[in-house]
Structure 1
Amino acid sequence: MSTPAPHALDPDGQPRLPPVAMDYARTVTDWAQAPLDASITATPDQTYGPHRLQRFDVFAPRGAQNAPVLVFWHGGGWTNGYRQWVRFMAPHVTALGMVLVAPSYRLAPAHPLPAALDDAMTLLACLQTELPAWGGSPRRVYLAGHSAGGHVAAMTALRRQAWRTHGVADDMVQGCLPISGIMDLHDPQPAPQSLEERVYTTVLRGLDPLQDAVHSPLYWTAGNRVPFDLSMGEHDSARVLRSNRRMLPLLQAQQATASLHVVAGLDHFHTHLQLRDPACPWYAQLARRVHAHTEPA
């Protein structure tokens, strides 16, 4: 495992995290060191592009064939994070009979949006041909992620025209389950030095501030055909709480089903940390979503 210490700058210049985020990063980094059971086939450091962050790890049940697939993007405010932060989920996802794909993606400020979103589409195009090698079905793919990763998952699910541009099949994505996703980047008066201000100074660096709407899932819900299961913590960030509550009725007005799950007592980071428990309700929710879909003959 070559994950840099979360308090250090890595070769991409990831900035120092706030203390609460640093504690989260240390925890998921430590959990990534745990050995995997022999029932799991791990295939790390696969490439989907020339940049060193255009990589993904695959965790599959040994002997899997035509299994459903979960693609889970890490969080980190679009400026930080490692795909290894997702590794601790592998035993629980594979226990559901699913293949887990954990990607990295290019980060701001070196690569402001839409780089992460372009990477997500490129990844799906790659997986469309590569998944059978790990026993995964390219027609049974589910998207998820935590925080900024939830934003990436939601934008990827909603931008159907971009699927066509990247050669992604219309029947590839069967559901989206973002956790504490940031569904609206807009803030009319972000406080100085706040995470909201960083969206404009770093994540959207070089773009007109009005581009915040273009890169917000909230504004892409019209015509959606991907089932959504949104989830967030009772004590999540104000931006997450507000944007998910606003997005739900917009999704429910479309063809696909949509739900919102608020987990009592949890804050922004513990909505992901709770997934270390195999009995976490999110896994049951994922299983229900997968079982609700019948693959075409």
Structure 2
Amino acid sequence: MFSFRFLVLSVASVLGVFLLLASGEYATARPSRRTRDIAYLATTASEFDAERHRLDVYAPRKSAAPRPVVVFIHGGSWNSGDKNTYSFIGRRLAKQGVVAVIINYRLAPTVEVPAMAADCAHAVQWTRQHIGEYGGDPSRLFVMGHSAGAGLAALLATDNELFAKLGLATNPVRGAILDDPAGLNMYTYLQKMEYPGDAQYLVPFGHNQQVWRSVSPYYHLTASSPPFLMFVGGDTYPSIKNSSAEFRKRLQELGFQPGFTVLPGKKHIPMVLQLYWQNNVIYKQLLPFVGAASQ
């Protein structure tokens, strides 16, 4: 295991990489249209945050039929990250026949993880209601995330109560793609407090152990959970390897055979940076998983 203090996704470093690649991105991923900064929560809501309750939609320019939809949730150790950093994922997905939704959500210390999960559920609800306007098929709605964002994606896929609170009779998520996921079982992790600096995670997760359990996707898995695709870096953090293996084992105990791919030599941040390139293994498995036809 390791301390999650090393999980902080440096937005500055990621942006630096993609500033160098920006011209190439637009040259190779032009067949998409981006609609920016859509409010997914009513601007009159008391909790509305003008920056964090926003999403971007990336859609293929040519779309003869409704396309599958992937809602991407960024990582950043629950206290950092921004949708604008991940435009390359939206463009790559759109180029390959998927309507992509890249979201912001509130972060610690402003809110704790339950509120982050509620924000993400609101974003999915907005997507379900409006994505047809952008060529997406709301009946084929998937969630995806990296690091802390993958943990939130897994929670959306497994905790039906998040959507029941919004008045939805059923969970609209049809599957989840987890890229080097963090936070799958914070109940166990925070009980151990094995490493110096682990107390910092009491800021996003609070001090209530029942809350730790309630926001840990592992404890929401059931035989009716949707399918999962999981990708883990061969050289990622031991805690991610261990918790991902435990999550996979629990799925298998419930009768699932989840997609589970270990990428040799990949560290944690390169697991998301690789999504810049169209032909990486994640996209190759994601497209058939969501039922997309590459363009």
Is the TM value for this pair above 0.5?
A: yes
State yes or no: 1:191 paired with 2:182: no
- Does the C-alpha gap of structure 1 residues 243 and 95 become closer, same or farther in structure 2, counting only changes over 3 Å? same
- Does the C-alpha gap of structure 1 residues 22 and 83 become closer, same or farther in structure 2, counting only changes over 3 Å? closer
2:253 alignment counterpart: 253
- Does the C-alpha gap of structure 1 residues 19 and 176 become closer, same or farther in structure 2, counting only changes over 3 Å? closer
State how far apart, in whole Å, the 2-side matches of 1:197 and 1:29 are: 32
Select the residue among 10, 14, 34 that pairs with 1:21: 10
- Does the C-alpha gap of structure 1 residues 31 and 220 become closer, same or farther in structure 2, counting only changes over 3 Å? farther
State yes or no: 1:60 paired with 2:49: no
2:49 alignment counterpart: 51
Structural RMSD (CA):
2.4
State yes or no: 1:103 paired with 2:103: yes
1:147 alignment counterpart: 147
Bigger shift: 254-263 or 237-246? 254-263
Higher relative contact order (CA 8 A, sep 6+): 2
TM-score, structure 2 length as denominator? 0.84
Deviation at 1:161, TM superposition (A): 3.0
- Does the C-alpha gap of structure 1 residues 198 and 29 become closer, same or farther in structure 2, counting only changes over 3 Å? farther
SS at match of 2:242: helix
State how far apart, in whole Å, the 2-side matches of 1:257 and 1:95 are: 29
State yes or no: 1:87 paired with 2:75: no
1:276 alignment counterpart: 276
Deviation at 1:291, TM superposition (A): 2.7
Query: Would the aligned equivalents of 2:73 and 2:149 in 1 still touch at CA under 8 Å?
Result: yes
Structure 1: segments with no counterpart, 5+ residues: 1-15, 293-297
- Does the C-alpha gap of structure 1 residues 142 and 169 become closer, same or farther in structure 2, counting only changes over 3 Å? farther
2:19 alignment counterpart: 30
Q: How many residues are paired up? A: 273
State how far apart, in whole Å, the 2-side matches of 1:61 and 1:256 are: 32
Bigger shift: 46-55 or 169-178? 169-178
Identity of aligned residues (%): 25
- Does the C-alpha gap of structure 1 residues 18 and 286 become closer, same or farther in structure 2, counting only changes over 3 Å? closer
Query: Would the aligned equivalents of 2:156 and 2:173 in 1 still touch at CA under 8 Å?
Result: no
Query: Would the aligned equivalents of 1:106 and 1:116 in 2 still touch at CA under 8 Å?
Result: yes
- Does the C-alpha gap of structure 1 residues 260 and 48 become closer, same or farther in structure 2, counting only changes over 3 Å? same
Structure 2: segments with no counterpart, 5+ residues: 42-47
State yes or no: 1:112 paired with 2:112: yes
Bigger shift: 211-220 or 166-175? 166-175
Query: Would the aligned equivalents of 1:28 and 1:88 in 2 still touch at CA under 8 Å?
Result: no
SS at match of 1:179: strand
1:10 alignment counterpart: none
1:9 alignment counterpart: none
State how far apart, in whole Å, the 1-side matches of 2:149 and 2:194 are: 21
State how far apart, in whole Å, the 2-side matches of 1:76 and 1:19 are: 5
- Does the C-alpha gap of structure 1 residues 54 and 23 become closer, same or farther in structure 2, counting only changes over 3 Å? closer
More helix by share: 2
SS at match of 2:229: strand
State how far apart, in whole Å, the 1-side matches of 2:92 and 2:37 are: 21
For 1:10-34, what per-residue CA distance to the aligned partner results, in whole angstroms no more than 9, with x for missing partners? xxxxxx9989836643346637955
